[in-house]
């Protein structure tokens, strides 16, 4: 299938791209969740979302020094990247005392990720890749950080509450959720599905997550410029101070 890649700029993720049309055929784009569809995308090599490199915002995040790392009581800071695909961001996030787990439902994606990451692994970076379903996977320990990029927007919108519940289950109580939000608009189907910042708030606030910061992604690749924001979330110790609408109450 012809690629619509722009060098370093990513593919256009809308119906004008035949690869996006094929993804939607395979996945269904309906409330019927298709894990088989994702697997077939990887098996057919139809992965228009794959930048072939870490997203520049992740590299900036690592270089910013604001990302926790280093030993925590003698152990590494643990990071989960759900829906990691070919694992570029997993490798970029690793090191500096962070151990990163890349999770994807597709065995083919994980195989590719392991192959691509072999050189970094040989350099001593610390990461692992797991082929499993985010919605049912049970790791031995919770994570200090979860980083989501193009996973939330890839899920059919009715699955967003379940996504948030799993984030809450998999993150330590004092852990941090980082969402690099791909804010697709005007899509008649998905993935990627139409996504707004409020869509995250609607499912995360009731679980006690509060957005501590949000900023435009100034370093988005060409095809995603002006469409991305990075938000960092922490969970309140006592979510009972939320009102019934899931909004924080100031006492």
CB of 154 to ligand SAM, least distance (A): 4
Nearer to ligand SAM, 130 or 236 (CB): 130
Taking the CB of residue 35, how many other CB atoms lie within 10 A of it? 13
Nearer to ligand SAM, 109 or 181 (CB): 109
Nearer to ligand SAM, 129 or 149 (CB): 149
Rule CB under 6 A: say whether 135 interacts with ligand SAM: yes
Binding mask 146-165 for ligand SAM (x = CB under 6 A): ---xxx--x-----------
List, in sequence order, the alpha helices (H) in the chain.
18-27, 35-44, 56-64, 88-93, 107-122, 160-170, 197-204
Residue 175: asked if its preceding bond is cis (omega within 30°), the reply is: no
Q: Which two tokens stand for residue 145?
A: 């950080």
Rule CB under 6 A: say whether 103 interacts with ligand SAM: yes
Identify whether the C-beta of residue 206 lies closer than 8 Å to the C-beta of residue 162.
Answer: no
Q: How far apart are CA 201 and CA 229, in angstroms?
A: 14
CB of 43 to ligand SAM, least distance (A): 11
Rule CB under 6 A: say whether 134 interacts with ligand SAM: yes
Chosen residue from 38, 163, 209, 233 binding ligand SAM by CB under 6 A: 38
Look at residue 150 and give its three-state secondary structure. Answer: coil
Q: How far apart are CA 198 and CA 16, in angstroms?
A: 27
Residues found near ligand SAM in the complex (CB under 6 A):
35, 38, 49-50, 82-85, 103-106, 109, 133-135, 149-151, 154, 191
């Amino acid at each position: 299938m012809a690629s619509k890649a722009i060098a370093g700029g990513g593919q256009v993720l809308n119906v004008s791209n035949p690869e996006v049309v094929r993804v939607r055929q395979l996945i269904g784009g309906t409330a019927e969740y298709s894990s088989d569809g994702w697997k077939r995308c990887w098996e057919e090599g139809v992965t228009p979302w794959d930048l072939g490199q870490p997203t520049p915002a992740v590299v900036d995040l690592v270089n910013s020094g604001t990302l926790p790392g280093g030993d925590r009581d003698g152990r590494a800071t643990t990071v989960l990247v759900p829906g990691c695909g070919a694992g570029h961001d997993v490798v970029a996030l690793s090191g500096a005392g962070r151990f990163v787990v890349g999770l994807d439902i597709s065995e083919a994606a994980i195989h590719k990720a392991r192959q691509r990451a072999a050189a970094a692994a040989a350099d001593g970076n610390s990461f692992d890749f797991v082929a499993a379903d985010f919605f049912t996977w049970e790791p031995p320990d919770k994570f200090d950080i979860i980083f989501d990029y193009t996973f939330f927007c890839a899920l059919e919108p009715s699955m967003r509450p379940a996504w948030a519940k799993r984030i809450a289950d998999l993150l330590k109580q004092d852990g941090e959720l980082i969402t690099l939000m791909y804010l697709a608009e005007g899509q008649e189907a998905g993935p990627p599905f139409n996504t707004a910042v409020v869509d995250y708030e609607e499912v995360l606030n009731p679980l006690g997550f509060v957005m501590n910061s949000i900023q435009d992604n100034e370093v988005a690749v060409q095809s995603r410029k002006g469409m991305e924001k990075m938000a960092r979330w922490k969970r309140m110790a006592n979510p009972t101070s939320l009102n019934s609408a899931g909004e924080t109450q100031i006492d």
